[in-house]
């Protein structure tokens, strides 16, 4: 099976797309590893694989898109969750339910994908805001906090936070907020690019080079990077707004510390 082309990684503003159905599977027919991806699924749900997708699968700290797929026959498939296949490298699984419960798509049929634009915009704002927060903390504290490093982040609206190695004291909260405000208000452009290892080195960002083998990437395949001009560069497969200003007011909520790790949470209006 060929990889699903991730159209959203090339144009995150594309909210509808025509593509072709490759497979329709019942949840019961999935491999155990893939059934585990959709623990809330019922017998009425199916999984669709398409040649391309504008649906962002859950991952990288970002929730999955939801929406609908429609065919000229009038059949609609409501997409409730999207995940990367745990068994077949690079394949995207769209979980959902056919609207009338009986009609289905056929393999090779053309469908139109439409994502929930309001949720996509919210998730994109949170993701970009998380990168802004990460950049603000790094620029302020990488020479102030012992053993500092950026670790991971969640960009889910109800649990958005960035984690850092090193103990960040509460006294830094106001300074972090001020730097985040500065970056948001500067209306910094957010650009997507594709780099190989030499590009990271040329930009002095060797520390960010991803593990190609762990990601199942070919030797000549390039890594997707998100560049917030004037702030930071991150290897990232998620969706983003076009400028930091579109994040809106980003509130640094709390700094918590445990076992040498600091967690800086944030919220958006």
Tokens of 114: 């439409």
Non-local (6+) Cβ contacts of 258 within 8 A are: none
pLDDT tens track for 205-262: 999 999 998 888 888 999 999 999 999 999 999 999 999 999 999 999 999 999 999 9
Q: Are 208 and 235 in contact (CB under 8 A)?
A: yes
Q: Are 145 and 255 in contact (CB under 8 A)?
A: no
Domain that holds residue 174: 120-267
pLDDT tens track for 96-155: 999 987 789 999 999 999 999 999 999 999 999 999 999 999 999 999 999 999 999 999
pLDDT tens track for 30-54: 999 999 999 989 989 999 999 999 9
Q: Are 266 and 253 in contact (CB under 8 A)?
A: yes
Task: Work out whether strand 110-115 and strand 190-195 pair parallel, antiparallel, or are unpaired.
Answer: unpaired
Domain boundary at 115, 150, 167, which? 115
Q: Are 103 and 73 in contact (CB under 8 A)?
A: yes
CA gap 243, 184 in Å, rounded: 8
Q: Quote the pLDDT of residue 179.
A: 98
Q: Quote the pLDDT of residue 100.
A: 83
Q: Quote the pLDDT of residue 1.
A: 61
Q: Is 101 exposed, middle or buried (0-12, 13-18, 19+ CB in 10 A)?
A: exposed
Tell me: do 229 and 256 sit in the same domain. yes
Tell me: do 136 and 185 sit in the same domain. yes
R_g over Cα of the chain? 20
Tell me: do 46 and 68 sit in the same domain. yes
CA gap 33, 39 in Å, rounded: 11
pLDDT tens track for 171-216: 999 999 999 999 999 999 999 999 999 999 999 999 999 999 888 8
Q: Which residue has the tokens 């452009």?
A: 189
Tell me: do 152 and 176 sit in the same domain. yes
CA gap 127, 83 in Å, rounded: 18
Q: What confidence category does residue 19 fall into, taking pLDDT thresholds of 50, 70 and 90?
A: very high
Q: Quote the pLDDT of residue 224.
A: 97
Tell me: do 68 and 142 sit in the same domain. no
Q: What CATH number is given to the structural domain containing 36?
A: 2.40.30.130
DSSP string for 56-70: PPSBTTBPPP-EEEE
Domains of the chain: total:
2
């Amino acid at each position: 099976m060929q990889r699903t082309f991730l159209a959203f990684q090339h144009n995150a503003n594309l909210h509808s797309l025509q593509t072709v159905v490759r497979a329709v599977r019942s949840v019961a027919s999935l491999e155990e590893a893939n059934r585990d991806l959709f623990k809330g699924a019922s017998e009425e749900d199916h999984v669709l694989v398409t040649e391309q997708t504008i649906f962002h699968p859950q991952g990288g700290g970002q929730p999955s898109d939801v929406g609908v797929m429609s065919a000229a026959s009038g059949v609609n498939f409501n997409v409730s969750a999207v995940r990367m296949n745990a068994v077949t490298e690079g394949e995207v699984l769209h979980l959902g339910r056919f609207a009338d419960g009986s009609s289905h798509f056929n393999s090779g049929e053309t469908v139109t994908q439409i994502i929930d634009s309001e949720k996509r915009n919210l998730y994109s704002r949170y993701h970009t805001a998380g990168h802004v927060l990460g950049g603000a903390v790094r620029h302020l504290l990488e020479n102030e906090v012992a053993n500092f490093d950026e670790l991971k982040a969640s960009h889910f609206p109800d649990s958005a936070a960035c984690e850092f190695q090193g103990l960040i004291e509460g006294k830094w909260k106001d300074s972090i907020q001020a730097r985040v405000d500065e970056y948001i208000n500067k209306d910094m452009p957010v650009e997507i690019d594709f780099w190989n290892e030499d590009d990271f080195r040329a930009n002095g960002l060797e520390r960010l080079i991803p593990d190609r083998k762990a990601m199942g990437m070919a030797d000549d395949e390039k890594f997707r990077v998100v560049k917030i001009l004037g702030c930071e560069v991150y290897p990232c497969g998620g969706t983003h707004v076009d400028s930091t200003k579109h994040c809106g007011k980003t509130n640094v909520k709390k700094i918590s510390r445990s076992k040498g790790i600091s967690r800086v949470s944030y919220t958006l209006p």
